[in-house]
Amino acid sequence: MDRELVPAAEAAEMLGVKRQTLYAYVSRGLLASHHQQGTRGSLFDPAELDGLLQQGRGKGESPRPDVVIESGLTRIDDDGHFYRGRAAIDLAATASFESVSEFLWHGGQVDAGSDLAPVSWNFDVDVELIDKVADLLGPRAAPLDWVRVLLPLLAAADPMRADIRPAAVESLGRQLLPLLFVAASVGAQSSNLTRSSPETARAASVALGAVGGDSRNEREVRIVNQVLVLMADHELAASTAAVRLAASFGADPYASLQAGYAVIGGAMHGAASTAVERFIADVVEAGEPAIVVGERLRAGEHIPGLGHSVYPGVDPRFTALFEFTRQSYPTSSAVQAGGAIIGFTRERGLPEPNVDFAIAVLAHASGWNEGAGEVLFALARSAGWIGHAIEEYTQRSNIRLRAVYTGPRL
C-alpha cells in the first residue's frame, strides 16, 4: 500500500467520532484496520476514511450501512412513486382503493395503460367485536384507538391466524381491512354501524365517515379515494419497516399490522399531518403566513408540512392532491392560506411542501375532524402493510439489525 496510513486517534478525528466508535466500524466491517511492524496500535487508510465521509454523512455523525430490502411493490424516483410499475398518481385518478390494494398484494398481468380490474369488498361486517371495543373505550377515544384495540381481539378470535400463505393473507386482507375501516368510522361517529348502508359502502365512503365527512357526498368520496390510493404504500417508511421486521420472523398478519399501527402514530410519521392541520388553521385565522411562521420560529418550533427525506424537491403526491383540492374548493380559506404559505416559504428558500401539507389543506377545506390526515394515512397504509407482509413471508429476509457500540471498551 503506497498511501500513508494514519493512527486511530487521527482517524477518529477525521470521522468526527470517538475511538470506541471507530473500532465499532472495524468490527462491523465498515472499515479495515492495518498493522505495521514497529508501530503500536491500528492504522487506517485515509482513502477509506474519506469514503465513509462521502456517503452523505457529515462530521459528527456516525457512518452506518443502509438497510436494504428487496421489494417488488413500490418504486420511488423523482417523478413520484409507482406500484408494481404503475404510477400511483395515475392510479389515484382512475382506480378504486380496493383495486389498488389487491394489485399491491398480488400484482397480476396488467398492461401499463389498462385499468385495474374492479374489486368489491364486503363492508357488511360482523360488529360483535367492534361492540366489545366500544365497551372498552371511552367517548374520547380516537378512531385509530378503535383499530389498535380491535386488532388483537380479532387475532385472538382467529384460530387460523398463523396461516401465512400468500393466498390466505390476501383473503384475510379482504376481510380485515373492511373491519378496520368500519371500526374507525364507528369510533369517529360514536354510532352503530347498522345505521349506515354497508351493502353499498366503498372503502373511500367508509373512510370518509372515519374523518367526519358525509359518505353521500360523491366529490368527497372521490377525493378520499385519491388520498387512500396515493398513501397506500411508499416503500420502506418507518411503519412499513416495522411490519416487515415482524413478518420476517413469522409474526402473523394481525401482529405485523399492530407493529405498523404502533409506529405510524408517532408525531414524526402518520400523526405529522395533525400538526400541519393546526398550522393551516393558525394561518387562516391570522390571515398572514409570515406572522404564524415568525411566531413558530421565535418559539424554536419547526414549520410542519415542509420537506421530505425521499424527495429533494417537490413531493409529487403533494402536487397531485393539492391541485385536486384547489379545483374542488377554489374559494376555501384553507386553500387560499395554503397557496399563501407555499408562496411565502418558497420566497424564503424553505423546503418544498409535502403530502402532509396537502392532506391538511384538504381536511380543513372539507371541514373534517382534527386528525383526519392521520386516520386516512393509517387506513390507507394498511393495504401496503399487507402487501409487504406477504412479500416478507415468501422471501424471509430475517432482518437482523446491528448496533454501532459507542460505550467504553474496558
Q: Which three cell numbers stand for residue 149?
A: 384495540
| Residues in Cβ contact with 97 at an 8 Å cutoff, skipping those fewer than 6 apart | 202, 203, 204, 225, 228, 229, 232, 380, 383
pTM (two decimals): 0.83
> What does the alpha-carbon distance between residue 392 and residue 369 come to, in Å, rounded to a whole number?
35
Instruction: Check residue 397 and give its pLDDT.
Output: 76
Q: Looking at the domain assignment, is residue 359 inside a domain?
A: yes
Average pLDDT over residues 86-105: 96
Task: Decide if pLDDT at 275 tops 60.
Answer: yes
Name the amino acid, one letter, at 1: M
CA distances from 124 to 138, 201, 355 (A): 24, 8, 32
Q: Looking at the domain assignment, is residue 129 inside a domain?
A: no
3-state secondary structure of 377: helix
| Residues in Cβ contact with 208 at an 8 Å cutoff, skipping those fewer than 6 apart | 214, 215, 217, 220, 221, 224
Task: Decide if pLDDT at 152 tops 90.
Answer: yes
Query: What residues form DSSP beta bridges with 353?
Result: 306
Question: For 331-362, what is each residue's pLDDT tens digit?
Answer: 999 999 999 999 999 999 989 999 999 999 99
- Structural domains of the chain, count: 2
Average pLDDT over residues 91-111: 90
Instruction: Check residue 301 and give its pLDDT.
Output: 87
Tell me if 97 sits within 8 A of 224, measured CB to CB: no
Instruction: Check residue 383 and give its pLDDT.
Output: 99
Task: Decide if pLDDT at 270 tops 80.
Answer: no
Task: Decide if pLDDT at 84 tops 70.
Answer: yes
H or E stretch covering 323:
helix 316-328
Average pLDDT over residues 263-269: 83
Q: Looking at the domain assignment, is residue 338 inside a domain?
A: yes
191 pLDDT tier (thresholds 50, 70, 90): very low
Task: Decide if pLDDT at 195 tops 50.
Answer: no
H or E stretch covering 21:
helix 19-28
Instruction: Check residue 200 and give its pLDDT.
Output: 59
Instruction: Check residue 109 and give its pLDDT.
Output: 60
Query: What residues form DSSP beta bridges with 83?
Result: 74, 86
> What does the alpha-carbon distance between residue 254 and residue 50 come to, in Å, rounded to a whole number?
45
User: Cβ-count burial of 48 within 10 angstroms (0-12 exposed, 13-18 middle, 19+ buried)?
Assistant: middle
**Of the candidates 302, 283, 276, 292, the residue with the CA atom closest to the CA atom of residue 355:** 276
Instruction: Check residue 36 and give its pLDDT.
Output: 78
Q: Looking at the domain assignment, is residue 11 inside a domain?
A: yes
Task: Decide if pLDDT at 56 tops 50.
Answer: no
Arithmetic mean of pLDDT over the chain: 88
Residue ranges of the alpha helices (H) in 95-248?
97-106, 128-136, 143-156, 166-189, 203-210, 218-231, 238-248
Name the amino acid, one letter, at 288: E
Q: Looking at the domain assignment, is residue 18 inside a domain?
A: yes
Task: Decide if pLDDT at 219 tops 70.
Answer: yes
Select the highest-mean-pLDDT range: 23-37, 127-141, 248-262: 248-262
Instruction: Check residue 194 and give its pLDDT.
Output: 39
Domain end marker among 15, 37, 53: 53
- What DSSP string describes 263-296? HHTSTTTTTHHHHHHHHHHHHHHHS-HHHHHHHH
Q: Looking at the domain assignment, is residue 304 inside a domain?
A: yes
Percent of all residues in the chain with a pLDDT value above 90, rounded to a whole number? 60
CATH code for the domain of 312 = 1.10.230.10
Greater confidence (191 vs 185) lies with: 185
Range of the domain at 312: 272-366
312 pLDDT tier (thresholds 50, 70, 90): confident
Instruction: Check residue 193 and give its pLDDT.
Output: 43
Task: Decide if pLDDT at 253 tops 60.
Answer: yes
150 pLDDT tier (thresholds 50, 70, 90): very high
Q: Looking at the domain assignment, is residue 236 inside a domain?
A: no
